[in-house]
Structure 1
């Protein structure tokens, strides 16, 4: 992750806007875990549908009625095993997955009453219960002698590595960072994954054995796809999207303008939030989860005025309506149909000029009408880009894949955010890593 920009020229960006006690309260767990009796009551609301629409809506195909029934019968550990069989990162997905747009939206209770079964919180209850026992619930098959390389220790890479290790293969994970987890560690809002859960989950996952992680290894720099293919019969790429799109606005190189992804990473790795600088007037450009996470956390750090500016309408935002409402509840102002055209200030950002937009059916266009907002800090959250493709065929701006993640090169698979198809979600990345592992295993053993 890149280091923060120099903020000496931006006096509005300061650390310690709020005392330690207030910050601790602000960044406490967004959803408190269910107590055992609460989990039982929540589980009893499930109809245990035979053709459950919630299962169809789950990217990892978890048997949701089964695990909820197991909770209702007092066996949360068995429920966790049902979850982990399909999604080994079920603990994190229970915290960050947009269940309101997936399984809970499809819930029969939601359709009938407007209040779904709390599938996400029930999943967290089950997975946390089993993970607290420390022992890993899976044993490795006898060693096959086959070796696989996984590039990227994010959700896709970890899911792929675990499944392959479970089958008895030896896996080496190469990651560019100095610790594993990918976006789970560096890119998720701190109030969604408290108590260092991302790191604890990786440690627990590695308990399967047979997985070695090597850090500081970046594809295209000190790691070559040609070398990997020459050394391993199978390579899986889960490198994510490391670059950030430019605003293409005049003045975006001014002090106080930075990538939202790096801001969130700095926040996630900060041991003391009182040392993290934040502006007084913050504007976030974008309409996805990263934009919401950056905006909400700016407010929680003590920024006085925080605005999300998105170039299209509310319905086009990739952030769920729940996340939009969460931002509004924290005091974040949402401005729609507005795009940045200039950032003004003498060396450092002081205000941002936005142009209103409209779509007349022939594409999004500026109207020529503009407005200005005070902004000493501007975060770019307008999508990420693939930094390295290893020379593979691309589909648009991502690695082209077919089937269970097969790329244009024999012996190379890809999944997660770097691969074409699917949503850029943790749960989707897990599913793609898992499915690629199954395909790799079949190839190795054939």
Structure 2
């Protein structure tokens, strides 16, 4: 049975309804409507997750506004039940809604997992840690199951037998020809002598010198005419084979296509892994057309996140993030502005917004995201330059959910960006984008 995460917040005391089941039903109805809205607009999955995970989220965040408006429809007096906006209840509703939607929509599941993995280490959720652990574990297991199926390489490829039904035999009316004996007898009789018929032999059998040639000529003609007539009647009836042959050709073509598709699908996982190993060993960026070793470590790690993202499908196992982390650790650490191999997120975001080599990353970030409004991914800040200056610490925290002073290593930075890219692509096809509220 699927877990109801709303109840888990009740169990730890994060929500206190004074044992009122009617209020619980109102919350359930709100979570259900939020989940339905999320499925209609999967592009909100990242913001839903980032707001739900942060106990310090600003109460004026647009996602909380949305959740509150839906809660008011179910619970008209909610504003009088609490002295301030019930952020804890709204966060619980958002998580429950995300779980409901993610169980039904794989794209939302991908966005939730990658976003939660990124932001959980940077939020204070100690009282809720077990709840989030269970939520992430459930959805990550679901995503990994699909990803493993797409990445797997079976030991044997089975091709089904050719499906082709031979056409039914063509029925032909046939009547065996026969010789008209009376006509033939009349011709033979005429050939024997001058006693009648159409072409009688003028000579008597006793006139051997003259009768025999005449007899031979007339008998040959009589027999030949009879045989020719039979031959005409024995001529085969033309049979049109174009239809059956076309059907056979189509069946063979479909069979071969299916076999090749099966082979391609069976070896896709192996080919993908082979390409990734080549990429890791070469340490060459197809987007920057340069070696990662020739770039500053943090720029290289960001571009590695971009290049890996473009090599793999949306549904990928969690181990891919670990693969990227190890690939980035192959880079030398030689940046003078680093301290213990770390840099502050504020400076990393500023570089991502301004450094020339990061242009491919900015272009994709702009494609995947809209202008930042409320809590959302760092991709929105990187892809949409609202100002040329550095982002203020309060703005970075409010919009990106990360403290400006948070320090990251190249591998942590690259992995963070990679997860954001995976999340953004999973929901980027949604026709609904977040819009700015006045």
User: Would the TM-score normalized by the shorter structure come out above 0.5?
Assistant: no
When Rg is computed on C-alpha atoms for both structures, the one with the higher figure is 2
In the superposition, the TM-score normalised over structure 2's length comes to 0.31
In the superposition, the TM-score normalised over structure 1's length comes to 0.30
